[in-house]
Amino acid sequence: GAVVSQHPSWVICKSGTSVKIECRSLDFQATTMFWYRQFPKQSLMLMATSNEGSKATYEQGVEKDKFLINHASLTLSTLTVTSAHPEDSSFYICSARGDWGRENTGELFFGEGSRLTVL
Amino acid sequence: AQSVTQPDIHITVSEGASLELRCNYSYGATPYLFWYVQSPGQGLQLLLKYFSGDTLVQGIKGFEAEFKRSQSSFNLRKPSVHWSDAAEYFCAVGRIYGGATNKLIFGTGTLLAVQP
């Protein structure tokens, strides 16, 4: 299957700083990527849909100015948590959709996740 | 509203025993259903999916799931559990736009522990 990689896998930062998380599709082009947030012992909540070359679409209740998403190329989307606070500490997971037109119906492939801890 | 319910938060089974993880969904249209597995600190891996056709779908690692429209269920099963199956399992429902999977709504997950 296709590979999606996130970096960093774990980051610790001070309150008030900004953190950037990268999501890369390593062996396929992904016009669409999704960013999820997962709190401990909870499910994944979709934060936003990222489309290459256009603005991201945010889910209701997600602050777009706080969670900046950039999808500048077909293999890279970034999530920047601006002015991070302890309540932003979470596990962030991206997924990329392969749009290569096969009968796989554009299956989603997930990254390994990035754990953010804000002190 | 669209939703996915996994009634069992935590399940413990003995190695070699059979397993069934429950999933119920609420969806306004034809559901596209998925089961994912997540190992600690890892992303999600697709086990299987149902789009149409045969209501019993086979997945990787010996898992299968049965779609029952009348019960709005998509339960995951495995006849004999291995210790390596210990992980968290998520059921999800999604929409299809133009042949591509779009947003997924996830259940809260079921944490599976396997006893020796």
B59 at A interface, C-beta within 8 A:
no
- Does the distance separating the beta carbons of B44 and A93 come in below 8 Å? yes
**Which of B33, B35, B38 to mutate to test binding with chain A, by most A CBs within 10 Å of its CB?**
B38
B53 at A interface, C-beta within 8 A:
no
User: In the beta sheet, which residues pair with residue B100?
Assistant: B97
- Does the distance separating the beta carbons of A99 and B100 come in below 8 Å? yes
At residue B52, the 3 state secondary structure works out as coil
Per-residue model confidence (pLDDT) at position B32: 87
A49 at B interface, C-beta within 8 A:
yes
B8 at A interface, C-beta within 8 A:
no
> CB A63: neighbour CB atoms within 10 A?
10
At residue A85, the 3 state secondary structure works out as coil
User: For chain A, percent helix, then strand, then coil, each to nearest 5?
Assistant: 5, 50, 45
First to last CA, chain B: 41
Mean pLDDT across chain B: 90
- Does the distance separating the beta carbons of A106 and B101 come in below 8 Å? yes
Reported as a single tens digit per residue, the pLDDT across A12-62 is 999 999 999 999 998 888 888 999 998 877 788 999 998 888 889 999 999
- Does the distance separating the beta carbons of A32 and B44 come in below 8 Å? no
Per-residue model confidence (pLDDT) at position B98: 59
Band of pLDDT at residue A109, cut at 50, 70 and 90: confident
Reported as a single tens digit per residue, the pLDDT across B18-72 is 999 999 998 877 788 999 999 887 778 889 999 888 899 999 999 999 999 999 9
